[in-house]
Amino acid sequence: MPIADIKTYLAPLSDELRREWPKNRMVHVVFHGHSVPAGYFRTPVVDTFHAYPHLVHVGIKATYPHAVVNATVTAIGGENSLSGAKRFERDVLSLRPDVVVIDYALNDRGVGLDAARAAWTSMITACRQKNIKVILCTPTGDTSSRRNDPNDALVQHTEQIKRLAAEHEVGLADVFSAWSATIAKVGEPVLHSQGNHPSFDGHKVAESVITPWFTAPLKGR
Domain presence at residue 209:
yes
Domain presence at residue 189:
yes
Domain holding 25, by residue range, is 11-216
Domain presence at residue 161:
yes
Euclidean distance between CA atoms 128 and 2, whole angstroms: 17
**What pLDDT is attached to residue 114?**
98
Domain presence at residue 66:
yes
Q: For residue 185, give the CATH number of its domain.
A: 3.40.50.1110
Domain presence at residue 157:
yes
Residue by residue, DSSP assigns 95-129 as G--SEEEEE-HHHHTTT-HHHHHHHHHHHHHHHHH
pLDDT interval class at 219 (50, 70, 90):
low
Listed in sequence order, the residues at least 6 apart from 18 whose beta carbon sits closer than 8 Å to its beta carbon are: 64, 66, 67, 218
Q: Is the peptide bond before 150 cis (omega within 30 degrees of 0)?
A: no
Average predicted confidence (pLDDT) for the chain: 95
* 68-73/192-194 β-pairing: unpaired
Q: What is the number of domains present in the chain?
A: 1
Helix (H, G, I), strand (E, B) or coil at 74: coil
CA angle 144, 178, 122 (to 5 degrees): 80
**What pLDDT is attached to residue 175?**
97
Domain presence at residue 187:
yes
* Nearest residue to 102 (alpha-carbon basis) of 34, 159, 2: 34
Domain presence at residue 3:
no
- pLDDT tens per residue across span 38-89: 999 999 999 999 999 999 999 999 999 999 999 999 999 999 999 999 999 9
| CB-CB contact of 141 with 201 (8 Å) | no
Euclidean distance between CA atoms 139 and 175, whole angstroms: 6
Provide the CB-side half-sphere exposure for 123 (13 A, CA).
34
- The distance in angstroms from the start CA to the end CA of the chain is 25
Residue 95 pLDDT greater than 80, yes or no? yes
pLDDT interval class at 216 (50, 70, 90):
confident
Residue 136 pLDDT greater than 80, yes or no? yes
Domain presence at residue 122:
yes
